[in-house]
Amino acid sequence: MFAFSRFLIYFTEVARQGSLRKASEVLHVSASSIDRQILRVEQQLDMPLFERHPSDYV
């Protein structure tokens, strides 16, 4: 259940901040780590949860 809880924290913060980069700064976790968690769930659901733009990672 811990992995799912981590996903919810990451997902919620990305939604609040509007970008992976800003969420990573708030959570003190790399943007790529957050992205991997969200991508994993997107693959399980077979649908995107966020639109990704290059500026999200800078």
Helix or strand holding residue 18 (H, E): none
pLDDT value of position 51:
84
Q: In whole angstroms, what separates CA 49 from the centre of its chain?
A: 9
Single pTM value for the model: 0.80
CB distance 34 to 27 below 8 Å: yes
CB distance 42 to 49 below 8 Å: yes
CB distance 7 to 44 below 8 Å: no
User: Which segments of the chain have a pLDDT < 50?
Assistant: 1
